[in-house]
A and B are shown apart, each in its own frame.
Chain A
């Protein structure tokens, strides 16, 4: 029984793994081209497990940024998980509390999107979720390690730019599958416009959080206003 649950979750993760292998490879290859050791490349995937944060860290480390700046930037980029984590909490009320830290450690954008889809259809057990998230994690670590080993065969500016685009393609995919309603599509447009504006005028990397907080608040206000009128 428990095996069937784990296995069912793992099977659901295969489409994520298919995306994580090339994306993880791109991360590992970019890091290896920037001169990082394999232990560091694989260690970061094992301990951090956050695609965008790892790409950003590689860029900043090779540009010689200070450790504190890198960690602060990673923190800001990862703040979006605060809201994803909160939004999953209603579904996890009945889970054994000891699995929550592990599920939280594995809470990436893709796992979150997949989990939302699953919870919309069914109730899912904690074993199912562990199978789903854990398999995706294994795929990410494997991809990064392979990239670290074989990345040196992919030197050249075109290859680096191409692998760097994997991150944006992933974000575009995630946005498309999550913008299922008209108001969410509208929110994406508003947030994009605000982000461009904030990025243009405000120094630092605050534009992502500012645009998100403003858009979500506008969304709540517009729903309230519509109900009154």
Chain B
């Protein structure tokens, strides 16, 4: 239990520092143009790199199957996000599809 709290403090520290240090340093310095351009590509790249292997693969192998509910749910989630620009609706739609697939196609 005490060890778990130590882990949480460690997590808190390594979460805070990347959020804080660039902000603190760069509000004092001029950001070079090339860095600005580079940074503009980062958020979409990180998100794509988190999503695609996560829904497409399992244990470092491709997972194309009707049992892969995360992959199937990502199609409607993507459509709902594009059409509504609403986070709550996107999450609800995605979770409903996963739940539905596991209820009606138990694999």
Distance, CA A34 to CA B81, complexed state (A): 31
Given contacts A85-B19, A166-B91, A176-B81, contact A43 B11 (CB under 8 A): no
**Dominant secondary structure of chain B at its interface with chain A:** helix
- Contact (Cβ within 8 A) B11 A48: yes
Tell me whether A184 and B41 are in contact in the complex, defined as CB-CB below 8 angstroms, given that A48-B12, A165-B95 are known contacts.
Answer: yes
| Contact bitstring B1-15, A, C-beta under 8 A = 1, else 0 | 101111111111011
If over half of A's interface residues share one DSSP class (helix, strand or loop), that class is named, otherwise mixed; here it is: helix
CB distance from A138 to the nearest CB of B (A): 17
Interface size class of A (residues with CB under 8 A): 35 or more
Contacts of A88 in B (CB 8 A): 23
Q: How far is the CA of A163 from the CA of B92 in the complex (A)?
A: 10
Residues of B within 8 A of A125 (CB): none
Interface residues of B in 38-77 (CB under 8 A from A): 38-57, 60, 69-70, 73-74, 77
Contact B14 A78 (CB under 8 A): yes
- Which single member of A48, A78, A192, A219 contacts B51 (CB below 8 Å)? A192
Distance, CA A36 to CA B47, complexed state (A): 29
A161 to B20, CA, bound (A): 33
A168 and B51 within 8 A (CB): yes
Docked Cα-Cα span, A18 to B16, in Å, equals: 24
- List residues of A whose CB falls within 8 A of some B CB: 15-16, 18-19, 22-23, 36-37, 40, 43-44, 47-50, 52-53, 57, 61, 67, 70-71, 74-75, 78-90, 92-93, 95, 97, 100-101, 103-105, 107, 109-110, 112-113, 157-159, 161-163, 165-166, 168-179, 184-185, 187-196, 199-200, 207-208, 211-212, 215-217, 219-220, 223
Which B residues are within 8 Å of any A CB, using their own CB? 1, 3-12, 14-16, 18-24, 26-27, 31, 34-57, 60, 69-70, 73-74, 77-78, 81-82, 85-88, 90-95, 98-99, 102-103
Closest 3 CB pairs of A and B: A169-B94, A195-B49, A89-B26
